[in-house]
Amino acid sequence: MKTPQLFGTNGIRGIPNQDLTLDLATGIGRSIGTFFKSSRIAIARDTRISGDMFLFAVASGAMSTGSDIVYIGVLPTPGLQYYCRENHIPGIMITASHNPPQYNGIKAIDSDGTEIDEATEVKIEDIYENRKYKLADWDKIGRYSYDNTGIDLYMNSIITSVNSKTIAESNLRVAIDTGNGASYYTSPEILTRLNCHPVSLNANPDGKFSSRNSEPKPENLSDLISIMKTGKFSIGIAHDGDADRCVFIDEKGNFVDGDRSLALIVKHTVKRGDSVVTPVSSSDALSEICTEKGAKLILTRVGAPIVARAMIDNNVTIGGEENGGIIYGKHQYCRDGAMTMALMLDLLARENKPLSELLRDIPEYYMIKTSVPRKREWEEIKELITKKFTGKMFDFTDGIKIYDTDGWTLIRPSGTEKIVRVFSESRKQETAKEYNKEYETFLKNL
Ligand code: MG
């Protein structure tokens, strides 16, 4: 199968006026317009400085093919996805997610609200590379309008997908760090409507991300962690730049790994006989919880759109990734930071116990993540690994997953850089390190 060249794992990314040019943006707008042949296309952006510039470039490109453009505002990527789904129209998101502020990007959304798949990306790239644009006659050129109803539509769906009354009555107090990103209005507002007395941090839209780095990792959340250590809050919440992800800090100020919050939400959401979808890179903590609950775990290739598609195909309600991106089908089939937040509040309200206490029921695993430069073709590397480690159990869902006595290692080539990623997991930190070192050394010596 041909793989997309411009579209990476999460859309097209680059630095404005360098690798992400206005010409490219306009061309991609034309290509998306030509591909979808839709009378209307929705568009939204995150808070980045170059947001308006790319929004107008991409919108102009799409309008030149005869599609009307509906701008729905600065809002999270899942907010646009929800609008697309409700209106059955495709969409374009201008965002570079958690990347540093100098970046921006373009992501295309299908009319069912899911991110377009790889096959569609290849088709759109082909239109762009070969200039197969279908431009409209002068009297058929698209128009531009603004619709401010998308934000409320999105927030209402989240609030009505959880037990909002139970949450409102539970007297939770929430600290939220939106990191100057696209959720600056929506997530604090959802918390207010759920009566969670939010204290907001970095809730001013600032395209330079002046307050903190956009990736919600512990080292970037020191302010939120300090606030949580005062002991005045039930839970701390943080999003990345476009708020398709959500991470948590417990009431004592401890960062909760995405794997553990996913396992916890699954534990309190699924029933016997249900299924859960996650990529092969996810922790065994999740598979243990699924076994305990009598639920089936479906493992896919890495990538949120792949997980979402598998959920739709198998009629599954919950799935997600270890980086804090949970997909909840009752709301919509895409990673959604605010939905993840609401699911966690729902379970805190129902269980009426502190987060740190609830997490004690989630098995603890250690994961070591490294990467090495890729010096040969992936197929060749794969063959060498299977030869060298013959006798071990392999899984080829995505890259190679090698099972050892006390854990596993996943080796896979990056889609965007010339590197090979090595993830090792075990119940013991030392063992995870040992496995990781063994495969890392082998790959380095190839
Ligand atoms: Mg993101």
Largest CA distance in the chain: 68
Query: What pLDDT band is residue 1 in, cutting at 50, 70 and 90?
Result: low
Asked if residue 313 belongs to a domain, the reply is yes
Please give the structure tokens belonging to residue 401.
């997953």
Give the pLDDT score at 323. Answer: 85
- For the chain, how many structural domains are there in total? 3
Q: Which domain holds residue 432?
A: 366-444
Listed ranges 116-125, 186-195, 323-332; the one with the highest mean pLDDT: 186-195
Q: How far does residue 197's CA lie from ligand 1's centre (Å)? A: 26
Residues taking part in catalysis: 97
Q: How far does residue 8's CA lie from ligand 1's centre (Å)? A: 13
Least confident of 44-48, 123-127, 161-165, 414-418: 414-418
Q: Does the model's pTM come out above 0.85?
A: yes
Among 306, 339, 361, the domain-final residue is 361
Whether 386 and 440 share a structural domain: yes
Give the pLDDT score at 14. Answer: 94
Whether 87 and 221 share a structural domain: no
279-315 per-position pLDDT tens digit: 999 999 999 999 999 999 999 999 899 999 999 999 9
Residue 362 has, within 13 A of its CA and on its CB side, a CA count of: 24
Whether 424 and 333 share a structural domain: no
Q: How far does residue 94's CA lie from ligand 1's centre (Å)? A: 12
2 pLDDT exceeds 90?
Answer: no
Mean pLDDT of 119-148: 97
Is residue 332 within 8 Å of 157, Cβ to Cβ? yes
The CATH number of the domain where 32 resides is what? Answer: 3.40.120.10
Whether 178 and 306 share a structural domain: yes
Q: How far does residue 392's CA lie from ligand 1's centre (Å)? A: 36
Give the pLDDT score at 6. Answer: 85
Query: What pLDDT band is residue 417 in, cutting at 50, 70 and 90?
Result: confident
Whether 339 and 437 share a structural domain: no
Whether 280 and 402 share a structural domain: no
Whether 338 and 431 share a structural domain: no
β-strand partners of 256 = 248
The CATH number of the domain where 400 resides is what? Answer: 3.30.310.50
Whether 308 and 334 share a structural domain: yes
Asked if residue 2 belongs to a domain, the reply is no
How many CB atoms lie under 10 A from the CB of residue 375? 12
Whether 241 and 202 share a structural domain: yes
Asked if residue 36 belongs to a domain, the reply is yes
Q: How far does residue 77's CA lie from ligand 1's centre (Å)? A: 8
- Calculate the average pLDDT of the chain: 96
Please give the structure tokens belonging to residue 421.
């990623």
Least confident of 58-72, 144-158, 410-424: 410-424
Angle, CA 331 vertex, CA 186 and CA 351 arms, to 5°: 85
55 pLDDT exceeds 90?
Answer: yes
Asked if residue 1 belongs to a domain, the reply is no
Q: How far does residue 436's CA lie from ligand 1's centre (Å)? A: 27
> What percent of the chain has a predicted confidence (pLDDT) above 70?
100
Asked if residue 121 belongs to a domain, the reply is yes
Mean pLDDT of 239-268: 97
Whether 162 and 131 share a structural domain: no
Q: How far does residue 95's CA lie from ligand 1's centre (Å)? A: 8
332 pLDDT exceeds 80?
Answer: yes
Among 334, 361, 388, the domain-final residue is 361
124 pLDDT exceeds 90?
Answer: yes
Map residue 283 onto helix, strand or coil: coil
8 pLDDT exceeds 80?
Answer: no
Asked if residue 7 belongs to a domain, the reply is no
Whether 40 and 166 share a structural domain: no
Asked if residue 409 belongs to a domain, the reply is yes
DSSP 263-275: HHHHHTT--TT-E
Asked if residue 403 belongs to a domain, the reply is yes
Q: How far does residue 240's CA lie from ligand 1's centre (Å)? A: 6
Whether 238 and 141 share a structural domain: no
Give the pLDDT score at 322. Answer: 86
In whole angstroms, give the CA distance from residue 97 to residue 240. Answer: 7
Among 345, 361, 377, the domain-final residue is 361
85-107 per-position pLDDT tens digit: 999 999 999 999 999 999 999 99
Q: How far does residue 98's CA lie from ligand 1's centre (Å)? A: 5
Residue 92 has, within 13 A of its CA and on its CB side, a CA count of: 36
